Amino acid sequence: MTTDVMTRPAVLILLGPPGAGKGTQARVLEENFGLVQLSTGDLLRAAVAAGTEAGKAAKAVMEAGGLVSDEIVINILRDRLAEPDCAKGVILDGFPRTTVQAEALDGLLAENGQKINAAISLEVDDAAMVTRISGRYTCAGCGEGYHDSFKQPAVDGKCDKCGGEKMTRRADDNAETVASRLEAYHEQTAPLIAYYDGKGALKKIDAMGDIAAISGGLAKIVTDVTS
């Protein structure tokens, strides 16, 4: 008996360097397609804040802009994927970041008869990433992302989505750490573009333009690969 792919929950990966817009676009896809955004960065920041063993081990590495060990990240992702809401389909933002993680993901999905629908590479110029990252901030209440130059709330300091008035900036969003994060991306994550291309699962999108235009292009890709 063959399983109808239409009935399988979608699994999409957003690839791209820090600042490419993975988190912003994942939130749009979450809203428009009913998918669940899984950000290993968010999961790790929550683990650091909660003071778990994984969080304690990850903290210094994250502050330095390096990659947390595959073992820690894979365990965190495995646990999150097992939660019931992920049955709606997921959009992975910031995972996988190494070939070991990509292979682990293939294995985890295979256990449930699943595989990824697509890995979508957000194509950007590195030079613009430092400006993008250093201007960004987030609503502490709902996680909506903003930017000093590219996406300001309608009322200064007040979240458009939830009305919250507490905005936060990430500790690792500074020029020095961003340089390390970009280096980690090119050395360890960029090879995944070839990995997914080899599996026929790679899609690319120019992610240098306007946020809404990129969302529109992504929506077409997602519709295409999930129908």
- Is residue 45 annotated as part of the catalytic site, yes or no? no
Selected range binding ligand AMP among 46-54, 60-68, 141-149, 203-211, rule: CB under 6 A: 60-68
> Measured between alpha carbons, how far is 57 from 53 in angstroms, rounded to an integer?
6
Specify the DSSP class assigned to residue 200. T
Q: Are 190 and 182 in contact (CB under 8 A)?
A: no
Residue 41 binding ligand AMP, by CB under 6 A: yes
Residue 95 binding ligand AMP, by CB under 6 A: yes
Residue 97 binding ligand AMP, by CB under 6 A: yes
At 206 the three-state DSSP class reads strand
Interface residue with ligand AMP, options 24, 37, 101, 121 (CB under 6 A): 101
CB of 1 to ligand AMP, least distance (A): 35
Q: Are 31 and 88 in contact (CB under 8 A)?
A: no
Q: Are 126 and 181 in contact (CB under 8 A)?
A: no
Residues whose CB falls within 8 Å of the CB of residue 22, separated by 6 or more in sequence, listed in order: 14, 15, 16, 39, 93, 94, 122
CB of 125 to ligand AMP, least distance (A): 18
Question: Beta-carbon neighbour count of residue 131 at 10 Å?
Answer: 16
> 22, 59, 80, 132: which one is catalytic?
22
Residue 153 binding ligand AMP, by CB under 6 A: no
- Is residue 132 annotated as part of the catalytic site, yes or no? no
- Is residue 136 annotated as part of the catalytic site, yes or no? yes
11 burial (CB, 10 Å; 0-12 / 13-18 / 19+) is: buried
Helix (H) or strand (E) holding 96: none
Q: CB nearer to ligand AMP: give 8 or 57.
A: 57
Residue 17 binding ligand AMP, by CB under 6 A: no
Residue 19 binding ligand AMP, by CB under 6 A: no
Residue 76 binding ligand AMP, by CB under 6 A: no
- Is residue 78 annotated as part of the catalytic site, yes or no? no
Using CB under 6 A, list all residues that contact ligand AMP: 18, 39-41, 44, 61-62, 65-68, 73, 94-95, 97, 101, 172, 181
Q: Mind telling me the catalytic residues?
A: 22, 97, 136, 170, 181
